[in-house]
Structure 1
Amino acid sequence: MNQSIKVIIPAYNEQDSIANVINDIPLIVNEIIVISNNSTDATEKNAKNAGATVLKEPRKGYGYACLKGMEYIASLKEKPNIVVFLDGDYSDYPEQLTELVTPIINDNIDFVIGSRVKELREQGAMTPQQIFGNWLATFLMTLFFGAKFTDLGPFRAIKYDKLLALNMEDKTYGWTVEMQLKALKQKFSYIEIPMKYRNRIGVSKVSGTVKGSIFAGIKILTWIFKYSFK
């Protein structure tokens, strides 16, 4: 069965990496959508030159950018079967997208997360606060919901109709955990695929700053406790 796949890439000042990301995405993808999240460098130009559809979202926030991409897809006459989310910093291996969507295509799984497992992760690719935050968030999801997640990895694939059913709303750092919590609540089938992970190009806008790490942590925990007591 032929599957239509669209990729959403939020990007804030990723001029040095964005073309690499786009060029490494397998040809099974129908459209690559880069959302420039108030970039002030050549991100938009480089993404366009690499063949992506480029949108602008002036409101800063990972969730704002993802929602802009979803809004664009909703406006299209032909809707995809699968939507993949991928960061623009080249820390993931875009060529592994084929592995990521295979459980959806072959096994009818609703939701797949690329898990940044330690044995496939380049040294230093995740900061200590990222590693701890992932552990704490997934531990709490296991404790409260019996979840089997081990990561909040941003490289993820989901059936388009299931994505719509989640009614995503987070505008900033809580986007990934919101998606996982809502998938659990709606009893979606899900699986994790171990993925390679390398040091990103450039400096992280979240984990690379104390303020970003603190706000991301607060947002993630807020979502988890919000859903735990619903």
Structure 2
Amino acid sequence: MKMIRVIIPAFNEEKSISKVIGDIPPHVTEIIVVDNNSTDHTNKVAADAGATVLSEPESGYGNACLKGLSYLKTLDQQTDIVVFLDGDYSDYSEEIDKILAPIINDHIDFVIGARVKSKRESGSMTFPQVFGNWLATSLMRVFFKSKFTDLGPFRAIKYEKLLNLKMEDKTYGWTVEMQLKALRHSLSYTEVEVRYRNRIGQSKVSGTVKGAVMAGIKILGWIFKYTFK
């Protein structure tokens, strides 16, 4: 039996987080919600839903993910696979088994949930998100010959492989950093088509002009950093 732990960064997701947790298959070993300085009751709702709740007061998606990884290192019990997904209910948590299957059955190291157009709810991805994904993955194909089509946050990776990547981004660049480092480390990877719906509440990134611009800058920064490294 694989030990599977899910890390969910969350900022002001009290209306959605229990739904996200409730749809996760019961065979998952542990669900870890990292409360990223929320001003609502995200931490209490998540704890009541059965999650392990950590606090990361320093804002940033990457900071929340790094907090979750720091927690895993303290555990006596092993972790085989780590799954990341968002806390806004845009991802379908019940599809975790689809994300895990290539790792468990085919010994793939790293799996991305690809939010293909045919499976996306209308309006679930803004134009900046769609364009940013296309631009970033196109550049990765040109410079690194990658086959990625999405920077989707719903993903799974073997824990030991993840540790070897030495993740460091603290904000918007976390997802693309992981993909670029996976390419650099020659990890085996694949994508699995997943459904995607309109989130509950406003996006902290694509829902604001500042967030979209900053995310775009960070993502392109990582790509060019690795291109000319």
TM over 0.5: yes
| 1:133 corresponds to 2:117 | no
C-alpha distance after superposition, 1:74-105 (max 9, x if no partner): 00011210000010000010000011001000
Amino acid at match of 1:141: M
Q: Which residue of 1 aligns with 2:92?
A: 93
Q: Which residue of 1 aligns with 2:187?
A: 188
**Contiguous gaps of at least 5 residues in structure 2:** none
Shift of the alpha carbon at 1:225? 0.2
Amino acid at match of 2:23: D
Amino acid at match of 2:186: K
Quote the Cα distance in structure 2 between the aligned partners of 1:30 and 1:23: 14
Quote the Cα distance in structure 1 between the aligned partners of 2:78 and 2:214: 34
Quote the Cα distance in structure 2 between the aligned partners of 1:195 and 1:137: 19
> Percent same amino acid among aligned pairs?
68
Q: Which residue of 2 aligns with 1:179?
A: 178
Quote the Cα distance in structure 1 between the aligned partners of 2:15 and 2:31: 17
Amino acid at match of 1:30: T
Amino acid at match of 1:192: E
Amino acid at match of 2:117: K
Shift of the alpha carbon at 1:27? 1.1
Amino acid at match of 1:36: D
Quote the Cα distance in structure 1 between the aligned partners of 2:221 and 2:205: 17
Q: Which residue of 1 aligns with 2:37?
A: 38
Secondary structure of the 2:34 match is strand
Shift of the alpha carbon at 1:172? 0.1
Amino acid at match of 2:89: Y
Quote the Cα distance in structure 2 between the aligned partners of 1:73 and 1:79: 8
Q: Which residue of 1 aligns with 2:82?
A: 83
Quote the Cα distance in structure 2 between the aligned partners of 1:212 and 1:90: 19
Secondary structure of the 2:200 match is coil
Quote the Cα distance in structure 2 between the aligned partners of 1:8 and 1:120: 24
C-alpha distance after superposition, 1:177-217 (max 9, x if no partner): 00000000010000000000000000000000000000000
Q: Which residue of 1 aligns with 2:59?
A: 60
Q: Which residue of 1 aligns with 2:146?
A: 147
Quote the Cα distance in structure 2 between the aligned partners of 1:24 and 1:139: 33
Q: Which residue of 2 aligns with 1:114?
A: 113
Q: Which residue of 1 aligns with 2:24?
A: 25
Amino acid at match of 1:188: L
C-alpha distance after superposition, 1:119-148 (max 9, x if no partner): 000000000000000000000000000000
Q: Which residue of 1 aligns with 2:196?
A: 197
Quote the Cα distance in structure 1 between the aligned partners of 2:208 and 2:27: 36
Aligned residues: 229
C-alpha distance after superposition, 1:32-51 (max 9, x if no partner): 00000000101001000000
Amino acid at match of 1:53: T
Amino acid at match of 1:122: E
Quote the Cα distance in structure 1 between the aligned partners of 2:153 and 2:202: 17
Q: Which residue of 2 aligns with 1:159?
A: 158
Q: Which residue of 2 aligns with 1:226?
A: 225
Quote the Cα distance in structure 1 between the aligned partners of 2:66 and 2:91: 21
Moved over 6 A (4+): none
**Contiguous gaps of at least 5 residues in structure 1:** none
Quote the Cα distance in structure 2 between the aligned partners of 1:69 and 1:166: 15
TM-score (norm 1): 0.99
RMSD of Structure 2 on Structure 1 (CA)? 0.4
